[in-house]
Structure 1
Amino acid sequence: MNREAAEKRGRSAETIACWWLRLRGWRILARRARVPGGEVDIIARRGRTLAFVEVKARATEQAAAMSLDPWRIRRVVVAAERLAPRFQKPGDDIRIDAIYVVPGRLPRHAPNIWQG
């Protein structure tokens, strides 16, 4: 797949993930937040939980989960650490989540994928 098609698929998956989160009571605070050293696809809040969400679109859920290798997770963690002061409120629980978008299936939200 060429870069342009991959970019389009990624943006589409992020839009699906945002709607999925909204339907479950999350408020989207930011999309594609970039800082030196990393990027977060979605920053969302529900109550006192602030989630930095990585979205993966693949042909299968297993392929999506496998695409979150330690290097990619580390980039999300670095970005979350640098972005948290902008979005964090006192008493918040902060976590790194993933949403897997697979054709023909509902998205799967995997909470708290990183234990640091």
Structure 2
Amino acid sequence: MSAAELGRAGEQLAATYLERCGFMVLERNVHLRTGEIDIVALEGSTLTFIEVKTRRTLVTGVPQAAVTPTKLRRLRTLVGTYLMDSSPPHRDIRIDVVAVLAHADGTYAIEHLRGVC
């Protein structure tokens, strides 16, 4: 499985996980001028922007470690752009990270970090 395929599989697993947790997935792979938001979802009345990180091994660290302060700044900018362009009717917003670790035996582990910034 290529890195791109692994990323797509991780995003699908994350979307399924979020739906099972009661989120309503509104959009996936939202392309904006300066980047992409992996998942936009509603949890109750909170509009949630979710960054998905998927890894096969822990050689380079846990998946969520890839969400660096620089990446968080970029995500905040993307969320601002999304809000300006879309003007959604939600007052509460949040940025989450879903980390997916794909094991060689086909199983996976998911960790959901809420309100990372």
- Percent identity reads 29
Matched residues, number? 109
Runs (4+) off by over 4 Å: none
In the alignment, the residues of structure 2 paired with residue 96 and residue 16 of structure 1 have an alpha-carbon distance, to the nearest angstrom, of: 18
Alignment pair present for 1:89 and 2:89: yes
- Larger fraction in strand: 2
Alignment pair present for 1:25 and 2:28: no
TM-fit CA distance, 1:11: 0.5
| 1:87 to 1:31, Cα distance in 2 relative to 1, 3 A | farther
Alignment pair present for 1:99 and 2:98: yes
In the alignment, the residues of structure 1 paired with residue 35 and residue 12 of structure 2 have an alpha-carbon distance, to the nearest angstrom, of: 20
Contact 1:32 1:40 (C-alpha < 8 Å) held by counterparts: yes
In the alignment, the residues of structure 2 paired with residue 27 and residue 11 of structure 1 have an alpha-carbon distance, to the nearest angstrom, of: 19
The answer for unaligned runs of 5 or more in structure 1 is none
SS at match of 2:115: coil
| 1:111 to 1:8, Cα distance in 2 relative to 1, 3 A | same
SS at match of 2:47: strand
| 1:99 to 1:87, Cα distance in 2 relative to 1, 3 A | farther
In the alignment, the residues of structure 1 paired with residue 109 and residue 69 of structure 2 have an alpha-carbon distance, to the nearest angstrom, of: 25
In the alignment, the residues of structure 1 paired with residue 71 and residue 80 of structure 2 have an alpha-carbon distance, to the nearest angstrom, of: 14
What CA RMSD, in Å, does the superposition of the two structures yield over aligned residues?
1.8
Alignment pair present for 1:54 and 2:57: no
Contact 2:30 2:38 (C-alpha < 8 Å) held by counterparts: yes
Q: TM-score, normalised by structure 2?
A: 0.83
The answer for unaligned runs of 5 or more in structure 2 is none
Out of 13, 34, 39, the residue aligned to residue 10 of structure 2 is 13
Contact 1:38 1:78 (C-alpha < 8 Å) held by counterparts: no
